[in-house]
A and B are shown apart, each in its own frame.
Chain A
Amino acid sequence: MRPADSAPSRRRFLAAGAAVGAGALVGAAAGAGAERAGALPGTPDRPDNAGVNGQRVIPFYGPHQAAVKARPGAFASFVALDLLPGVDRARLAAWMRLITDDAARLTQGRAALADVEPELAATPAGLTVTVGFGRGFVNRARGQRPDWLGPLPAFSIDRLEDRWSGGDVLLIVAADEPVTVAHTLRMLLKDSRSFAALRWRQDGFRRAYGSDPSGRTMRNLFGQIDGSANLAPGSSEFDAAVLAGDDAPAWLRGGTSFVLRRITMDLDGWDAADRAGRENSVGRTLDTGAPLTGGRERDPLDLDKSGPSGLPIISSVAHARRARVEDPTLRIVRLGYNYEDPPPPGSAALSDSGLLFGSWQADVNRQFVPIQSALDEADLLNVWTTPVGSAVFAIPPGCREGGYVGEALLAV
């Protein structure tokens, strides 16, 4: 036997002993305890059940599409489609009935109709499916269009590419389980083939389920805690900021809007920034996300507090100051996902990395555009970040059993 073979086997033997010992001592908590004691996480004889959440189900039917208020899945695919010529209003309704039925089944852990991989549907892991309508869809449906539905105003920092922008329909598939996301997306796209063509797809990730306590704010690839100012789902402030109200077209009320911006992050440039410079660019600490003026992550920024030099501690061009909105009804609720793709062939870059910046808001013009305009004017983070994709969608309300997403827009 080669020496390299004997060491692991002895380690495995010792680890198994540790697991038995921990199990005897702490009973039900044996799984977690054994891991901390250094045991191998799972063996055929003793599977690791700690943190298993494949059977977690988020209800599909309801007044809002589920993802608007649900805890975001660890993995998400954002897909835009363009309508095929000749797909009329009645056919749009047929399409929405098909993918609503797929989503209603798959999110509950059941195979879709005509699903040829039904076993892949059995692990929903918090699966949500969200459908959004771009300007082209609402026009084709001959529906009343919200005035914000279309491309955002041009910003000076933008370097937008068509391949990440626009689209007639948005699908967001999110779950804590990437195989589930892949299967769900394939089922939805197969049932979309007669109606629309794929325009772009962007995949994002957050910390895997179980790596952090649930509800912790995500970290982006700059290492920053990202989204600290988000309103909490279930609060009246959240509803006021996110849900489309009486000033929206009737078919959209109870729905919302979604802006997706693909923002590249210059990790090589960021490497050259020291820790103080990094914290200064946002106005928050890197370790906890607390304002540089003190306190905890969720505490307010003290924008007037000055340092020894007499300058404000939170820079006048720090991201957190520039993005701050006093009136909670004018805030946006951010849904960010990291992305990391291979660099273009022949490029010296190590990766194509960034943030899929998503946001829910009741009215894009009233909420998103003023914030983005302020950041366009001045934001230290702009040194390292560049928007390369941009798309805006109306997110219709949820549906009842027997109904379908978009019914209020498409029903005869």
Chain B
Amino acid sequence: MPAPNRVPRPRCVLSRAALMAAITLTLAACSSSGAGDDASSLTITDAWVKAAADGMTAAFGTIENSSDHDITITGATSEAAKTVELHEVVDNVMRPVDRGLAVPAGGFLTLEPGGYHLMFMGITAPFAAGDDVTVTLTLSDGSEVDLTAVAKDFAGADENYDGGMDEQMESASPEAST
């Protein structure tokens, strides 16, 4: 039985015990590339996306890197949205991460409200609570990895956007995502 994690920990690094506990319950990522590439070294757990009627929303989760080198996520795509961006939140304002998101060697990257996340722009259909949404992450070596996030009703993750002039951004109000 996994003991609840009681020690304070750095934001982006989960203890192995907590991660192994999490793995038992969530859809793991399935690699869409060959053995030995970066995609085969990543495991994604606890993936979820904020339910939304239209416009923008965000996905979160934990990404483990079992390899001995850092792996960078350079982009994301999904059939469920026009575009998906890698974002961070700084001073309560979210913005794209142009350098990509690094998953440290032998460590974890946590995507969470108020921190790093995958930003969906222009979702093509409502994300209703309980729906599964699939996202493909592109890695720096060109390999790809899919993750499936379950949609959950969530009141938070309404950070202001400071990324561009796209009209999509206009609908980034809390009302737009129910």
Contacts and interface: CB of A to CB of B under 8 A. Distances in A.
A55 interface: yes
Given A55-B4, A194-B128, A195-B129, A105 B150 contact: no
Interface residues of B, number: 26
Nearest to A401: B24
Given A113-B150, A114-B48, A116-B156, A95 B130 contact: yes
B4 A91 contact: no
B3 A55 contact: yes
A109 interface: yes
B129 A121 contact: no
A97 interface: yes
Contact of B153 (A55, A57, A109, A193): A193
A133 to B, nearest CB: 17
Interface in A93-126: 93-95, 97-98, 101, 104-105, 108-110, 113-114, 116, 121-124
A102 to B, nearest CB: 10
B21 A97 contact: no
A104 B152 CA distance: 16
A110 B2 contact: yes
A95 B150 CA distance: 11
A266 interface: no
B130 A97 contact: yes
A122 B4 contact: yes
A113 B21 contact: no
Contacts of A91: 128, 130
A195 B152 CA distance: 12
A191 interface: yes
Interface in B119-173: 128-131, 150, 152-154, 156
Main secondary structure of the interface of B (DSSP, over half): loop
A104 B23 CA distance: 13
Nearest to B25: A104
Interface string B1-31: 1111110000000000010011011100000
B3 A191 contact: no
Contact of A105 (B1, B25, B60, B153): B25
Interface in B56-107: 60
Contacts of B154: 114
A190 B50 CA distance: 13
Contact of A191 (B1, B22, B25, B129): B129
Contacts of A98: 129-130, 150, 152
B128 A97 contact: no
B25 A101 contact: yes
Contacts of A93: 130
